[in-house]
């Protein structure tokens, strides 16, 4: 069985993902940030959309559901909370399995960013779609859940095999790297931050990442416990990004921290 993951930018800083099973022709869209972009990607590849798998209810993840459903007949498979944005054909929660052709995706409940947030893990090929729970060098804001709930959710993801490819829903890595450097000074993080900065200057994505890389350099996964995580999350919420968008090392005398865009 061959699985193809097609990743493409959507909206301001979202990523869209199409997961295609060559054996059966089944195709799923992980979230639906922009229906027109997703339809164009499908047409370019000659794929027919089978299902939309939403991770949570926020509009930059569900805004394309209605048009995609109307244009393709795809089923909307999602946590119950997505029902407040439109019809859901199948409600899923932690421990469920979504079968798409020859693909079998395990649903991992990840309360924190929203109450009903879920992730989709395909263990055979070692991939996980994490929505806004885990980011490269970061994690999602706590809009609805508690720090303890988010810590439990991140712990579930951290337990996946280290080689697992992590598909995050936003390109936030450079901003996350700047905060990470303010609370952690390990050589591994500094090396990664420099590589991330160079990749973004070249216009390259920093997604996917891996569980192994996040365990090594992501301050939120490196937290000692839930209380430590909560303190880090509060600090990130109050952190101001450099206005230039460039990476500044903490020991760089030129480092400045005027208010910048706050990421989720």
Q: State yes or no: is 121 an active-site residue.
A: no
Give φ, ψ of 237 to 5 degrees: -60, -30
Give the Cβ contact number of residue 170 at 10 Å. 24
Q: State yes or no: is 125 an active-site residue.
A: no
If 0-12 CB within 10 Å is exposed, 13-18 middle and 19+ buried, where does residue 224 land?
A: exposed
**Considering 20, 121, 170, 184, which one is annotated as catalytic?**
170
**Considering 31, 34, 60, 184, which one is annotated as catalytic?**
60
Closest by CA to 137, choosing from 255, 232, 260, is 232
What the block records as the tokens of 30 is 């992980």
Task: Please state the length of the chain.
Answer: 264
Give φ, ψ of 49 to 5 degrees: -80, 125
**Considering 56, 117, 121, 184, which one is annotated as catalytic?**
56
Q: State yes or no: is 31 an active-site residue.
A: no
Q: State yes or no: is 113 an active-site residue.
A: yes
Q: Which bin fits 12, alpha (ψ -120 to 50), beta or left (φ > 0)?
A: alpha
Q: Which bin fits 138, alpha (ψ -120 to 50), beta or left (φ > 0)?
A: beta
**Considering 20, 61, 117, 121, which one is annotated as catalytic?**
61
The alpha-helical segments, DSSP class H, found in the chain are 35-45, 59-62, 65-72, 147-158, 173-183, 187-201, 211-217, 226-237
Any bridge partners for residue 104, and if so which?
A: 99
Q: State yes or no: is 56 an active-site residue.
A: yes
* 32 vs 29: CA distance, rounded Å: 7
**Considering 21, 31, 34, 132, which one is annotated as catalytic?**
132
**Considering 113, 117, 121, 184, which one is annotated as catalytic?**
113
Q: Omega into 30 within 30° of 0, i.e. cis?
A: no
Catalytic residues: 56, 58, 60-61, 113, 132, 170
């Amino acid at each position: 069985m061959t699985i193809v993951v097609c990743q493409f930018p959507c909206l301001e800083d979202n990523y869209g993902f199409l997961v295609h099973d060559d054996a059966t022709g089944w195709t799923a869209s992980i979230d639906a940030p922009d229906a027109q972009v997703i339809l164009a990607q499908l047409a370019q590849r000659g794929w027919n959309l089978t299902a939309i798998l939403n991770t949570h209810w926020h509009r930059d993840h569900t805004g394309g559901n209605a048009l995609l459903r109307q244009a393709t007949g795809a089923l909307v498979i999602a946590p119950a909370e997505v029902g407040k944005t439109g019809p859901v054909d199948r409600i899923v929660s932690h421990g469920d399995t979504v079968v798409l052709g020859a693909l079998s995706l395990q649903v991992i409940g990840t309360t924190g960013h929203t109450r009903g947030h879920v992730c989709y893990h395909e263990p055979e090929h070692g991939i996980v779609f994490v929505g806004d729970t885990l980011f490269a060098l970061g994690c999602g804001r706590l809009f609805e859940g508690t720090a303890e709930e988010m810590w439990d959710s991140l712990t579930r993801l951290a337990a996946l095999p280290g080689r697992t490819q992590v598909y995050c829903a936003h390109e936030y890595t450079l901003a996350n790297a700047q905060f990470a450097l303010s609370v952690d000074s390990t050589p591994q993080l500094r090396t990664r931050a420099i590589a991330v900065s160079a990749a973004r200057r070249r216009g390259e994505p920093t997604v996917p990442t891996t569980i192994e890389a996040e365990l090594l350099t992501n301050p939120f996964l490196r937290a000692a416990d839930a209380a430590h995580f909560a303190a880090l999350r509060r600090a990130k919420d109050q952190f101001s990004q450099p206005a230039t968008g460039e990476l500044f090392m903490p020991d760089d005398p030129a480092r400045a921290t005027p208010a910048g865009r706050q990421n989720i």
